[in-house]
Structure 1
């Protein structure tokens, strides 16, 4: 637990500036292109977990600094590490921008993010830092099954989209010089990075479990009250029967 409590603050403070600096050096000082490289994982890590925790109640963070069940700095925690991984995997520009290169970029980054985020979430669930209220949680199947139910497909599909869009952005802006399309690329990259992984995850969940994977199995107070009432009623009737002559 101590590792996660420290990492959630050290990552934005150390890794985010490092990622920005390294991307800036890789892209010859073009700040606008660096913002494009970093914006997608940061927005993904803010929007999706915020909705998943406070609206759908699919999971929650076990930490002091929270807005509801969501930590307000989560986007920078995930975004800093993810952008660094993307730089390590895809930082060097390809010799040519071909269809195969776009697919390769998506496959490489998707595979890496799927593995490392599954490993991270597995450790976080075991430590009690993250609580995920999915179907394996309700079935008491353990942290391995809980993490495997969502992490590989969700983060892998995001990584694939991120890798492809990263290469497309480099192609349009650096290869073709279409800087007039910058705003369009910025909006499209973030929207696709938000929507496509969820659609893929929902489709995967339907095929695997017969449900969209967006149902929370957390026990709410409203769900507890009928059970508690039945228990109290049972013991009250039992007590009254004992007192009958």
Structure 2
């Protein structure tokens, strides 16, 4: 059951879900550029930072078809539609975009993203579809212990910074009517920078658990 669930959400749904989320965001906001933004941010993030974690720092390895070394060919699309869906569920576009409401959205999105990501990675570790580096000679831990030892704060920060970036883009593109490619590129760069800080915390929190006296191994 766990493996079938992961195959469904990791291989079957990502591309169709990306198209669905574009349509849902366009239907809600009437703005194609913003709809593209919420997906492009997730796609780029999903390729860049997991690529660093898997192929440079060697903290994780994903097992299955369609791989580029240690992560998937479509890895960015494992992030984009699901992050866009979480943001879609917690952000009501008809609410006043006050500071208090923005904080509520960021907190809620971070929480939901944390729960979903921890659940996904725990099942991934349990089935062997995800390998996470461990300290050589360390006592074997359960998948839940492995994932939550480094992932809770990191996953929350990723969800929170993604939603904060999308809120800034919504204010500029939709409310501010700045639907030009220069604004889009600037917002995308800013969003990736903000999410990158969260990802670095995530990456180096895991790295700190692994690279102590010896070299990491896959566990």
TM above 0.5, yes or no, is yes
- Cα distance in 2 for partners of 1:86, 1:137 equals 40
Question: Is this contact kept in 2: 1:11–1:76, CA < 8 A?
Answer: no
Listed as ranges, the gaps of 5+ residues in structure 1 are: 220-245
The alpha carbon displacement at 1:55 in A equals 1.1
The alpha carbon displacement at 1:136 in A equals 9.7
- Cα distance in 2 for partners of 1:69, 1:201 equals 15
The alpha carbon displacement at 1:124 in A equals 1.1
Aligned equivalent of 2:64: 63
Determine helix, strand or coil for the equivalent of 2:13.
helix
Correspondence 1:76 to 2:66: no
- Cα distance in 1 for partners of 2:107, 2:33 equals 25
Segment drifting more, 118-127 vs 93-102: 93-102
Equivalent residues, number: 211
Q: Structure 1 residues 135, 116: CA separation in 2 closer, same or farther (over 3 Å shift)?
A: farther
The alpha carbon displacement at 1:142 in A equals 1.6
The alpha carbon displacement at 1:143 in A equals 0.7
The alpha carbon displacement at 1:128 in A equals 1.0
Q: How does 1:144-159 map to 2 (within 5 A)?
A: 144-159=144-159
The alpha carbon displacement at 1:107 in A equals 0.4
- Cα distance in 1 for partners of 2:113, 2:136 equals 22
Aligned equivalent of 2:172: 172
- Cα distance in 2 for partners of 1:114, 1:127 equals 20
- Cα distance in 1 for partners of 2:208, 2:38 equals 30
Cα shift readout 1:205-241 (whole Å, capped 9, x = no counterpart): 4xxx9x735736216xxxxxxxxxxxxxxxxxxxxxx
Question: TM-score w.r.t. structure 1 length?
Answer: 0.77
Question: Is this contact kept in 2: 1:42–1:75, CA < 8 A?
Answer: yes
Aligned equivalent of 2:197: 195
Determine helix, strand or coil for the equivalent of 2:68.
coil
The alpha carbon displacement at 1:153 in A equals 1.4
Determine helix, strand or coil for the equivalent of 1:190.
helix
Aligned equivalent of 2:44: 43
Determine helix, strand or coil for the equivalent of 1:132.
strand
Aligned equivalent of 1:224: none
Listed as ranges, the gaps of 5+ residues in structure 2 are: none
Determine helix, strand or coil for the equivalent of 1:133.
strand
Question: TM-score w.r.t. structure 2 length?
Answer: 0.86
- Cα distance in 1 for partners of 2:192, 2:171 equals 17
The alpha carbon displacement at 1:2 in A equals 3.2
The alpha carbon displacement at 1:50 in A equals 1.1
Larger-Rg structure = 1
Determine helix, strand or coil for the equivalent of 1:64.
coil
Q: How does 1:13-162 map to 2 (within 5 A)?
A: 13-28=15-30, 30-90=31-91, 92-135=92-135, 138-162=138-162
Question: Is this contact kept in 1: 2:210–2:216, CA < 8 A?
Answer: no
